[in-house]
Amino acid sequence: MERRNKGLFVVCVLALVSLLVLATQLLYASSLTSRYAERLDTFLGMAGIALLPVSAALWRRWGGGRAGTGALRPREEWLAELARAERERIQDDLRFRGVEVAPIAVPWQAEPLLGDVPPHVVASGDVDGLRGVWSGRLIVVGPAGSGKSIALEVLAGRLLAQGGPVPVVLSLADWDPRHRLHSWIGRQLVERYPELFSQVDEQDLLRALLRDAAVIPFLDGFDEVAKDRRVLLLQALQREMGAELPVALASRTEQFREAAAVAGPIPRSVAVRLSPLTPDQFEGFLTGRRPPSLPAWQPLLETMRQGRAPALAEAFTTPLMQWLGLQVYGHAGADPRELADRSRFPTSRAIERHLLGTLVPVVFSHPGVPGAARHARRWLAFLARHAERHSEGSIRWWELHRSAQPQLAAVYGLLLAALSVGLGRISRATGTGLLAGALWGAVCGAAFTGAYVLARHLEYQTRLAAPDGFRSTVSVRDTVLRLARVLPLVAVAAMVAAAANGLVIEPFDRAGLRDLLAQGLASAFVIGACGGHTAGVVLNQAFTLDATVAPTNAGGPGDALRRDRRASAAVAVCFAAAGAVVTWTAWYLAAGDGPPTAFALASVSAAAVFGTCMFAVWPVFRAAHAWYGLRGQLPFRYGTFLTRAHDAGVLREDGLTHRFRHAMLQTALKSSRDNY
């Protein structure tokens, strides 16, 4: 620990201890009644207990020791696992694109004006020929859908097959200029393979990227970065990659040209531009796939070759449009010849819009489910808009609630008020216990989350991942803000219940009820802080012992959702136990005996719910999912729907998240006129 931090830590702890001692002395020197003296004495004692985990967490955060580094993986081991996992991911993605079944031709030619040096082997070729011009730095440009992602993945697959440094293909759509580029790359890898990197030191990963070039970033979607960030991204690449570290970049031509005109080219880079595909190459792709409608395509292909359908020939010059044409018109009974109707499709853009707009109705239509395609389009349109606004282009189930936080807060408040009033009419102790448990559970959950985050701060810094399922997605600041949103809801519900039924229960008067709540708050804070710190320390140490998780078994978003559901159930049991302790302690300190059964059961139940919602993300996701489902914006079988969309080629998996297969498809869905 640095001397300055150590001194600051000691001063803070001594100041807190001094304040507690001074408050205790003033308490006994005052003329307060014994009743209030006992309450304050109890509160000060609990504050002293809470000081222990907080002090330990601060000590760990300021460098008192490195948490959980005893079982970090050696670089050779995690690099081999990363290469295997990335190779399998690329193979699966190319298989979904149809490239593994029928190779899509991706011709290219040199583009020396966008690179720093011309290709030193050949001036043109196909996607396999990119291996011949790979010298460590490559820029691939072309129009939308021209196969840039395919080119990067095929090249990465070839490099992975021959061994050596590990190329990883990453999307730049959610690049954040507030972080250094290599730190952002590291976090993208962690999000994709959390189990693998749970035992990898961050500094080792950064050294592999920055110093040893053991991991090569293949950055896709430069054009998907916001326009005002592209120059910053190019400058970051130039600054952090220097003139030697290998990198590959894919972008639409004009977007990269505009940024390079301001920031300059990437030093020592070779630039190639993907060329349009021909009708013969399209025929080769269709022949390789052998769709049932292949005979219906033959006259259309002949028309394109003869130049009698210029709009159609121009539309099918990219791998994306060829794949869309196969998806929309590849099934039995489909007639692609309608695309040659110039009155309906006068331009290539009209054909592209038609294919993009028809994909979802075709792949989701079901003869036994009327309206299935219409509902699917509406749900995907909502996900496309939500991903752009709140998740930087990705579909992350744990961020689904972000666009409905005010509505969810109102629903929570109404439900709590309705339950407390309804139960209060049966038993005032039950209604009051429900509100008390909600208050205590929220405070206990906030204290638990804050202490847990502080306790695992070093692990997040060194390993960047917590794949045990107990993932707190909030910081201490977020926890305070979340508590600030919950407390007014509880207060409003309490006022409604007080007006309807009253809250005072035997043997307390109003002052006694306030004492009961204060005792419970103090107990909830202490138990939550101690429990959160203990959980963070135990999981820090326990998880370093688990080095047997295979990254290829990490699963996808569905596995993460099921894992967090199990973790949330365990957390709810813990908060129920904490709520029982808080309830019994507060009642005993305030009344000298145990609480009534009705009060205790209601309090424990509310504490389990509110405490879990303060810490875990799964119950919040389920609440948001129910809200969107009732409004028709999402299906009630959320996971099943995303799996089907993935199997249909509309979505692709990227670690624990989903992304749309192509930015053009997401844009088409966003601009859909379906209400959501």
- For residues 429 and 186, give the distance between their C-alpha atoms in angstroms, rounded to a whole number: 53
CA 495 to mean position of chain CA atoms: 38
Tokens at 498, concatenated: 């007080």
Residue type, 661: R
Residue 109 CA neighbour count, 13 Å, CB half: 3
CB neighbour class for 49 (10 Å; exposed up to 12, middle 13-18, buried from 19) = middle
Candidates 338, 356, 249; CA nearest to 299 is 338
Distance between first and last Cα of the chain:
53
What integer pLDDT is reported at residue 469 of this predicted model? 37
Which pLDDT value is given to residue 68? 44
CB contact set of 394 (below 8 Å; sequence gap of 6+): 173, 174, 387, 654, 657, 658, 659
Over residues 222-269, the pLDDT tens digits come to 998 888 889 999 999 988 888 788 999 999 999 999 999 998 888 888
Q: Rounded to whole angstroms, what are the CA distances from 113 to 242, 245, 276?
A: 20, 21, 19
Residue 485 CB-density burial (10 A; 0-12 exposed, 13-18 middle, 19+ buried)? middle
What's the maximum distance between 2 C-alpha atoms anywhere in the chain?
104
Q: Helix, strand, or coil here: 26?
A: helix
Residue listed under structure tokens 């045990």: 468
Distance of CA 155 to the CA centre of its chain: 27
Concatenated DSSP letters for 105-133?
P--EEE-TTTSSS--SS-SEE-GGGHHHH
In order of 91, 103, 288, the CA distances from 95 in angstroms are 6, 10, 13
C-alpha distances out from residue 158 to 163, 167, 223, Å: 9, 10, 25
CA atoms within 13 A on the CB side of 347: 3
Burial of 3 (0-12, 13-18, 19+ CB in 10 A): exposed
Are 599 and 432 in contact, with CB atoms under 8 Å apart? yes
Token pair in block for residue 176: 């954040």
pLDDT at 42: 55
DSSP 276: P
Closest among 619, 643, 622, 470 to 556, alpha carbons compared: 643
pLDDT, tens digit (0-9, with 9 covering 90-100), for 119-148: 554 456 666 677 777 888 899 999 988 888
Low-confidence ranges of the chain (pLDDT < 70): 1-71, 97-105, 117-128, 367-368, 391, 456-475, 538-555, 672-676
Q: How far apart are CA 499 and CA 495, in angstroms?
A: 6
Q: Which residue is it, tokens 């003033």?
A: 26
Give, in order, the Cα–Cα distances in Å from 668 to each of 284, 359, 671: 28, 11, 5
Full-model pTM: 0.78
